[in-house]
Amino acid sequence: MVATTSTGRDGWSSRSAFILAAIGSAVGLGNLVRFPAEAGANGGGAFVLFYILCIVLIGLPVLLSETLIGRHGQAAAPESYRKVAEESGASKSWELVATLGVLSAFLVLSFYCVLGGWVLYYIYLFIADLIATGVTGPAFDGLNFEAVDALFPAMIANGPVTVVLNLIFLAITLFFVARGVSGGIEKVAVYLMPLFFVLLVGITIYSLIGGSSQETFDYLFTFEPEKLTGEVMLAAVGQAFFSLSLGVAGMVTYGAYVSRDVNLAGTSAIIGAADTSVALVAGLCIFPIVIAAGLTPNGGLGLMFQTLPHAFQEIPFGSLIGLAFFIMVGFAALTSSVALMEVPSAWVIDQFRIRRPAAVLLVTALAAVFGTLSALSTGMLSGFHPLGFLPMFEGLGFLDTLDTLTSKLTMPIGALLTAVFIGWIADKRLVDSENGLSGGLHLFWRFLVRWFCPLALLLILLGGIFPDRA
Ligand code: PHE
């Protein structure tokens, strides 16, 4: 039987199912791969503290705004924006904000599953290694440093491998999304998220006890204000949105399956807190082993796919811990890719009135085409820089172009417009009846969405896009 929301549509079977699914959407490669990589590339502590500020002062208010629009609309994202606009006597064109979001979600999905495929490859590598070297030993026993280093470039340069892995990851995602909200999407989160947390806590404790925990704290939490440039700030705010799944109509879509009696403010706070804790804990999980192995925690994807495997070479039970680690990353990636696929799928279902499996298949097929370009962009298509004529995208291949385009432009712009929509355009009574806030907290939230979020986002966007003029 499928659970239904008050309007009779398929929906979350309980409040906790919604919370787990939303946390599943939020917690993903963004927290485990992108956050440590961005923190490393953008100066450690300065980035981390600014990131936390962005989450609290911009991310959470927008998260509440998105879930609120979704719950009120009870439909695919653009229709939900339209309903709120119409009931507030505003122009229907506000739905375009969500249409932009749906498009961004689709683009993120298309490259996210390529990364998901890389994670599958590492799961395979560690399984093979475990079989070869046994449970107790360090990882990749027979291989020297250079050979382990070479695994990653060899994989991403291998077009057929990355293309097929991307298709496999897309197919796994499709399998769950096609089964619907309560029958598929919710199930992945309810089963995988608890397992994810057990693995994360276990590996982090191991890493903090055995690794360089003091250096890690210094690295992540020493605030050096001079490192906080316009570009670092934009990177931090982009990371905050990417991590909370905001600005892509994702939380609007998930909010539409929430029943009327759920307090949205409380739930949004739980989701935000969980997501941020996982990002920080991911830092505390990864850096101690990396630093203890005498490696430098440089930013970039090499951290997860090269530096960390080196670190697993140095520790007892390295194969086993490495396997557990990449399985954990795979779980987190899947609960996010499911969310990313649901956004355009829900839109196709509503827009063309076709059945869910057909809609999901259509989205998957299109994502596979874009994904193939992303998968090849680290190999044979590495010279193809689709937006390379713009300074912001100079030298970026297809995958990196989509990543930068979404996290540094369309997500912050979508979030900015959503804040303006809720703060200025939507009917105040409608907003107040949905948000579940009262007293001083309510006034503070209203101030944030009306004034602080739009202005801060505008400044950060301008400062990041035109660094020389800021
Ligand atoms: N928040 C997810 C992550 O951190 C990515 C994501 C973005 C998922 C947007 C859904 C929507 O990995």
Ligand 1 atom nearest to 26, measured from its CA: 1
6 occurs within a structural domain:
no
Quote the number of domains for the chain: 1
CA distance 395 to 16: 44
Residue minimizing CA distance to atom 7 of ligand 1:
245
349 occurs within a structural domain:
yes
Q: Which residues line ligand 1 (CB under 6 A)?
A: 25-26, 28-31, 105, 108, 242-243, 245, 248, 250, 336, 339-340
Ligand 1 atom nearest to 275, measured from its CA: 4
CA of 185 to the centre of ligand 1 (A): 15
CA distance 256 to 224: 41
How far apart, in Å, do the first and last CA atoms of the chain sit? 56
Contacts 24+ apart (CB under 8 A), 414-417: 414/97, 414/100, 414/101, 414/104, 414/246, 414/247, 414/248, 414/249, 415/58, 415/62, 415/241, 415/246, 415/247, 415/453, 415/457, 416/453, 416/454, 416/457, 416/458, 416/461, 417/97
Instruction: Give the contacts of 316 (CB within 8 A, at least 6 positions apart).
Output: 136, 137, 138
For position 296, what pLDDT does the model report? Answer: 77
470 occurs within a structural domain:
no
- Ligand 1: which of 66, 106, 111, 112 to mutate, judged by most atoms within 8 Å of the beta carbon? 112
254 occurs within a structural domain:
yes
3 occurs within a structural domain:
no
2 occurs within a structural domain:
no
In this prediction the pTM is: 0.93
CA torsion, ordered 294, 300, 301, 304, to nearest 10 deg: 30
How many C-beta atoms lie closer than 10 Å to residue 385's C-beta? 18
At position 132, the amino acid (one-letter code) is: A
CA of 369 to the centre of ligand 1 (A): 20
- Ligand 1: which of 38, 103, 243, 341 to mutate, judged by most atoms within 8 Å of the beta carbon? 243
For position 374, what pLDDT does the model report? Answer: 97
Q: Which two tokens stand for residue 467?
A: 């660094």
CA distance 280 to 268: 18
CA distance 282 to 264: 27
Give the torsion sign (CA, 211, 212, 214, 218).
Answer: negative
CA of 387 to the centre of ligand 1 (A): 23
7 occurs within a structural domain:
no
CA of 405 to the centre of ligand 1 (A): 15
Q: Please provide residue 354's backbone torsions phi and psi, each rounded to the nearest 5 degrees.
A: -110, 165
CA of 128 to the centre of ligand 1 (A): 30
From the list 443, 436, 444, the residue with the least C-alpha distance to 72 is: 436
CA of 6 to the centre of ligand 1 (A): 27
For position 15, what pLDDT does the model report? Answer: 92
ipTM of the prediction greater than 0.95, yes or no: yes
How distant, in Å, are the alpha carbons of 78, 97, 312, 329 from that of 139?
48, 47, 6, 18
8 occurs within a structural domain:
no
CATH code, 353: 1.10.4160
For position 468, what pLDDT does the model report? Answer: 62
Q: Which two tokens stand for residue 6?
A: 């008050």
- Ligand 1: which of 23, 115, 245, 329 to mutate, judged by most atoms within 8 Å of the beta carbon? 245
For position 51, what pLDDT does the model report? Answer: 94
Whether 384 contacts 164, CB under 8 Å: no
Residue minimizing CA distance to atom 11 of ligand 1:
245
Containing structural domain, residue 414: 15-465
CA distance 249 to 270: 19
Ligand 1 atom nearest to 104, measured from its CA: 9
Place of tokens 């992108």: 34
CA of 294 to the centre of ligand 1 (A): 32
Mean pLDDT of residues grouped by 10 in the chain (470 residues)?
A: 59 94 95 87 85 95 96 95 97 96 97 98 95 86 88 96 98 97 94 94 90 86 83 88 93 94 94 95 89 77 87 88 94 97 96 96 98 96 93 93 93 95 96 90 96 92 70
For position 142, what pLDDT does the model report? Answer: 81
Ligand 1 atom nearest to 332, measured from its CA: 12
- Ligand 1: which of 103, 243, 280, 336 to mutate, judged by most atoms within 8 Å of the beta carbon? 336
For position 136, what pLDDT does the model report? Answer: 84
